[in-house]
Amino acid sequence: MNLHPISRACLLALVLATAAPLAQAVKPADSATLPAPDAALQAAIDGGWRDPANTARDAARHPGQTLAFFGIEPDMTVVEITPGGGWYSEILAPYLKDKGHYVAAIVDPAAYEAGSQRDYTQKGKDALAKKFAGAPAQFGNAAVVAYDPKAPAFGAPGSADMVLTFRNVHNWRSAGQAEGMFKGFYDVLKPGGVLGVVEHRAKADVPADDKSGYVGQAQVIALAEAAGFELAGSSEVNANPRDTKDHPNGVWTLPPSNNHDDVDDAKYQAIGESDRMTLRFVKPRQD
C-alpha cells in the first residue's frame, strides 16, 4: 500500500510538537502514591512554633507530601532559595537542626543601589533574621547566605544535598536572572543532588516579561535542563484544577494575597491557591 508522502519539514514539525508533552510526562506521581513524611518531618509540620497563618495554608501547600516527594532526609544540607517570610523555614530548619544543615539563601541588599529595591530586600533580610533570633530552639543552627542575583552563588561548589525553591521562577524570568539562578543551583549541589521546584503553572508558555506570575511547565523544565539537570519526577500534589489562570491581577488575585475587590472574595476563596507544578530534578552523578 502506498502511503501519502510527507515532507521532511512536516516530519520534523511533528516530532517537535510531541517532544514537550513527553518531557512533561516523565515519571508523574499521583498524590495518592506519594511517600508519606517521616515522623520527624511530620513533627516539624505540626510544631507549635509555626505561625497560625502559615499552618492555615498547609491544606493548599501540602508541605509533608511535597518534601517527601523531593526525597528530603534529616541529615541533608538543604539550601532554600529566597524563603521570603519563612513559611518553609519554620518546617525545614527544625527538621534539619540536629543532623542536617538548613541554609536560607536571600538576596543581598548590597547588590542594589540605594533606593526602593535595596530597602525592600533589607527589610526582608531583617525580618527573617528577627524570626530566626526569636526562636533559637528551632532556628539556632540555621545559616543565612546572601547572594547577588546577577552572579548567584549559594555556597561552596558541591556542598549541598538539596536545593529548594517555592514560587520564585516567575520573578527570575522577568528580571532576566533565571538562567544564572539555575546554574547557581547546579554548582552548589553535589553530584546526585536534588533540585525541587514548586511554581505557579501557566496554561502554556508565557513571555519572560509576563506579569501574571504563572510560568509554563515546559519552560521551567527547559531552564533546569539547560543548566545540566535531569528531570527525575513530576507530581500533581500541588495542582488546582479550579484555577482558570485568567485573573485580573494574576496569581495575586488568589489566596493568600487576595488582591481583588471585596465583592469577589467568595469567588476567589472557592478557587483557592494557584495551580502549581511540582518538579524534582537531579544533578547527574559523575562517571
Answer yes or no: is 5 within a domain: no
- Segment 21-35, tens digit of pLDDT: 433 344 455 544 678
Answer yes or no: is 1 within a domain: no
Domain that holds residue 244: 29-282
Answer yes or no: is 22 within a domain: no
CA dist., res. 160 & res. 78, Å (int):
6
**pLDDT value of position 281:** 98
Answer yes or no: is 136 within a domain: yes
Answer yes or no: is 10 within a domain: no
- Segment 156-176, tens digit of pLDDT: 999 999 999 999 999 999 999
**pLDDT value of position 11:** 35
Across the strands, what pairs with 197?
A: 165, 279
The mean of the pLDDT values for the chain is 90
Task: Tell me the CATH number at 202.
Answer: 3.40.50.150
Answer yes or no: is 146 within a domain: yes
Answer yes or no: is 174 within a domain: yes
Please tell me the pTM assigned to this model: 0.88
CA dist., res. 143 & res. 282, Å (int):
24
C-alpha cell at 194: 536534588
Cα distance from N-terminal residue to C-terminal residue, the chain: 48
CA dist., res. 255 & res. 252, Å (int):
7
**pLDDT value of position 7:** 40
Answer yes or no: is 7 within a domain: no
CA dist., res. 165 & res. 90, Å (int):
15
Total domains, the chain: 1
Report the interhelical angle of 217-226 vs 8-24 (nearest 10°). Answer: 90
